[in-house]
Structure 1
Amino acid sequence: MRRIWIVGASSGIGLSLTQSLLQEGYLVVASSRTAEQSDELTSLKKQFGNQLQRLNIDVTQTDGLAAKIDQAWAFFGGLDIWFYNAGTYQPMSFDAFDYASFNSMNAVNYLGCVALMVAMKNRVIQTPEIKMRWLWNISIASQVGLPYGGAYSAPKAALLNLAESIQPELEAYGVTLQVINHGFVKTRLTDKNQFEMPGLMMPDEAANKIVQMIHHKGKSFEVTFPKKVTVFLKLLKILPYRWVFFITRGLLK
C-alpha cells in the first residue's frame, strides 16, 4: 500500500483527499495545526483505524519540523508521497495592505513548504532508493497577478518558480516533483471572495482530480483544472502587459 503525508488535511481539498485515499486503501498521515483535535479527522480515525495517523504541525514553526518529519516517517516505516496543501488567503485592496498579512501568507504559502523541503533534504540525499513523489498544491493564481489577490498569488508564484528550478535536481535523486495549479474550489478561503468565481468546484471534485493524478502512471510536471479557467489565466500570462492590464482593470471594484 502507498504511504502519503498530507500537510493541510483538516479541511477543504486536504480533508476530501484524505477521505478519498483512505477509501482507496492508502496509508495516510494527516497533518495540520489541529489535526489531532479535528472532529472530521477523529471521525475518519474511528472508521479507518491505524490506516490513518494524525500529526499536528505548524509549518511556520520551523525549529520543530525535522522532528515532525521523523514522526510522519515512522508511522508507516517511510513515505511514498508528500502532499503539500497548507495555505492561507486574505483578499486585500491596496488601501488595506498591511505587512502582517503579507508575512502570514508568505510564511504558509511559500516558506512553509520550503522549510519542510529543507528539513527533508537529508532523507532524500541519503536514501535515493526511496522513489518519493512530491505533490505541491499551488494554484492557477501563480500564473498572473490579479487585483486584490497579490499577497496570496505572489508566494504561490514563488513556489512554482522554485519547483521549476529544482525539478531536474530532484529527479536525479529519485524524487518526482509535480505541481497542481487548479482554479476556484469552494473552501473557507474562497468563501472570503465577494465576486462570482467561474468554474467553482467542490472540494470532493478537486480531490477526485488529484486522486486521478496520483493513480496516473504519467509523470507530467503540472496538472491543471478546470480547463476553461486555467487556460484563460495561462493565456493572460503570455499576452503583452498592456492587454493584460486592460483586462485586469475591468476587475477593479
Structure 2
Amino acid sequence: MKKRIWIVGGSSGIGLELVKKWLQEGMYVITSARKASSTKELLTLKQIYEEQLQIVDIDVTSIASVKKAVPQAWKRFEGIDIWFYNAAVYEVMSTEEWDVEHFEAMMQINYMGAVRVMSELLPYFERKGEGRWIWNASLSSYFGLPLGGGYSAPKAALLNLAESLQPELNVKGIELQVINHGFVKTRLTQKNSFDMPELMTPEEAAENIIRATKKPYRFEIHFPFKLSTFLQVLRLIPYRISLALTKKMLPKDIS
C-alpha cells in the first residue's frame, strides 16, 4: 500500500524536492506552507499528479490556521501515515545585529510550529494506532555555533523534545524520527558568508532522507558523515576546548 505523507514546509528547498521524489515513487502527498496554494512549482506538480497531490495552506505560527489545516490534511486521503515537519526560517546575527523579531520568528516556526501541529495531530494518530512522525532538525542542534544561535537554539529544543516524547509515542504505535543534516544550498543558506563544509544540493539531501527512511526504524538520521562526526565530538569534549575551537570560527572583523 502506498504511503500517505503530509509535508509541512513543502514549497521550496528540501521539502519541495521530497514532494517531487515521493510523487515519483507513487506516494500520496499532502504538501503545506503558508502560501502553498499559490506556489508555482506546486501548482505545476498538481497538474501532473492530480490524484496523488493535495495542497493545504498552513501558517504554523497561528493556532487558528493549524486547527483548520490539520483536519483538512487528514481528510484528503482519508488518513496520514507519515507527518514530515520541515518548516523553518533562518537568520545570521552577531550580537551587534541582534533582532528580537528574527529570534521570535525562528522560535515560532522552527520549534513552536511543530508543537502546534503535533498537539492537533496527535489525537488522529492515537485513534489510528500507528504512524511515523519525522522532524527535520539540524546538525546545529548538537552545539551552538557563532552567529547561528537564533537558528540552532530552537532546533536543539526540537531535538530535546523529540528525545523526551519518543518513548511515550512509541508505546502508542507512533515512530518519532529526527533528521539532523548539514548545510544545504537553499535560499536560507544563501545568507551565509562563511565556508559551508560538505554543502549539499536540496536534491542530494532529499535523496539521503528518503534512502534513510526506507531502512529499519532508528530515532536519528544524520548526514553528512564528516560534519556530523565533528559536531558530535564537539559536544562531548570539555567546553574549554570546544569553545576555543568555535571562537576560531568567528569572522575576522569581530573582536
TM-score range, shorter chain: over 0.9
For 1:183 and 1:235, how far apart are their aligned partners in 2? Answer: 15
Matches within 5 A, 1:56-71: 56-71=57-72
RMSD: 0.8
Q: Are 2:214 and 1:215 aligned?
A: yes
Deviation at 1:245, TM superposition (A): 1.0
Matches within 5 A, 1:131-142: 131-142=130-141
Q: Are 2:174 and 1:196 aligned?
A: no
What letter is aligned with 1:251? M
User: Percent of aligned positions with the same letter in both sequences?
Assistant: 50
Deviation at 1:191, TM superposition (A): 0.5
Secondary structure of the residue aligned to 1:29 is: strand
Contact 1:66 1:120 in 2 (8 A): no
- Partner of 1:124 in structure 2? 125
For 1:147 and 1:47, how far apart are their aligned partners in 2? Answer: 44
- Partner of 2:225 in structure 1? 227
For 2:138 and 2:243, how far apart are their aligned partners in 1? Answer: 21
Q: Structure 2: give runs of 5+ residues left out of the alignment.
A: none
- Partner of 2:14 in structure 1? 13
What letter is aligned with 2:99? D
For 2:131 and 2:71, how far apart are their aligned partners in 1? Answer: 15
Matches within 5 A, 1:22-33: 22-33=23-34
Q: With structure 2 as the length reference, what TM-score do the two structures score?
A: 0.96
Deviates more, 1:46-55 or 1:155-164: 46-55
Deviation at 1:214, TM superposition (A): 2.4
Secondary structure of the residue aligned to 2:70 is: helix
Residues 70-124 of structure 1: per-residue CA shift (max 9 Å, x gap): 0000000000000000000000001111211110100000000001111112223
Deviates more, 1:88-97 or 1:62-71: 62-71
Q: With structure 1 as the length reference, what TM-score do the two structures score?
A: 0.97
For 1:125 and 1:24, how far apart are their aligned partners in 2? Answer: 27
Secondary structure of the residue aligned to 1:49 is: coil
What letter is aligned with 1:158? A
- Partner of 1:47 in structure 2? 48
What letter is aligned with 1:106? M
Q: Which of 230, 239, 242 is the matching residue for 2:240?
A: 242
For 1:222 and 1:214, how far apart are their aligned partners in 2? Answer: 10
Secondary structure of the residue aligned to 2:195 is: coil
State the 4+ residue runs in structure 1 displaced beyond 6 angstroms: none
For 1:67 and 1:40, how far apart are their aligned partners in 2? Answer: 24
Aligned length: 250
- Partner of 2:156 in structure 1? 157
Deviation at 1:242, TM superposition (A): 0.4
